[in-house]
Amino acid sequence: DQQVKQNSPSLSVQEGRISILNCDYTNSMFDYFLWYKKYPAEGPTFLISISSIKDKNEDGRFTVFLNKSAKHLSLHIVPSQPGDSAVYFCAASEDKLIFGTGTLLAVQP
Amino acid sequence: IAGITQAPTSQILAAGRRMTLRCTQDMRHNAMYWYRQDLGLGLRLIHYSNTAGTTGKGEVPDGYSVSRANTDDFPLTLASAVPSQTSVYFCASSDTQTGDTQYFGPGTRLTVL
């Protein structure tokens, strides 16, 4: 049973607009959440994280929101750029990281 | 450049053969991990090691074994490869063992025929 779910396999956004990637989880004991970005033929790279004691964390164009009551996590990218096109994985941790299935973001010029 | 290296980059293997995927990190991280990435399934943890000399089973350990003789190296062995082990394998490391930010290697693409 998938504890971390990314229900949208893909997302297409115009350059300059906002990209919103969503992630849902089932385990209320998760206390740390991360987003990774993956380009083809490369390993995932860490993007941004948030602790369960916060509801928002911002780093430049990237903001992660956490809604604990809904067990929902989202990543906002604004403005989106063509170089943001990649697969995005959310991950949650109580002890070990549990990854979602990934969302392929395509930013159209 | 500090980071994680994996070898080989890709490999085609006949079913039943033994294969060891190599992973080396130079960040002096305590914890290391092996994941497999499959379409529609994301990244799944195979085995991990919280510190040199210890290993543990992840979500999908069957058919794989690991060893952690020192801090830097964490090889993954397939004793007798099967086609369902066709996947992309990623090694990762983190400074601590409790869900800390993990740093990934470039991956090994393995095809078992």
- pLDDT confidence band for B28 (50 / 70 / 90): very high
Task: Determine the distance in angstroms separating the CA of B102 from the nearest CA of chain A, rounded to an integer.
Answer: 7
Contacts with A, B 14-73, CB within 8 Å: 33, 35, 40-45, 48, 58
Q: Is the pLDDT of residue A90 over 90?
A: yes
Quick check: A43 and B92 CB within 8 A?
Answer: yes
Are the CB atoms for B15 and A63 separated by under 8 Å?
A: no
pLDDT tens per residue, range B48-88: 999 999 999 999 999 999 999 999 999 999 999 999 999 99
pLDDT tens per residue, range A46-83: 999 999 999 999 999 999 999 999 999 999 999 999 99
Q: Is the pLDDT of residue A102 over 70?
A: yes
Q: Is A44 on the interface with B (CB under 8 A)?
A: yes
- C-alpha span between A37 and A98 (Å, rounded): 15
Would strands A103-108 and A10-14 be described as parallel, antiparallel, or unpaired? parallel
Report the chain A residue with the minimal C-alpha distance to residue B107. Answer: A43
Are the CB atoms for A91 and A80 separated by under 8 Å?
A: no
- C-alpha span between A26 and A90 (Å, rounded): 13
Consecutive H or E run containing A47: strand A45-51
Task: Tell me the DSSP string of B45-64.
Answer: EEEEESSTT--EE-SS-TTE
- C-alpha span between B28 and A17 (Å, rounded): 40
Written as one letter, the residue type at B55 is: T
End-to-end CA distance of chain A: 38
Q: Is the pLDDT of residue B2 over 70?
A: no
Structure tokens at B94: 């983190």
CA distances, A38 to each of A46, A53, B97, B107 (Å): 9, 27, 23, 11
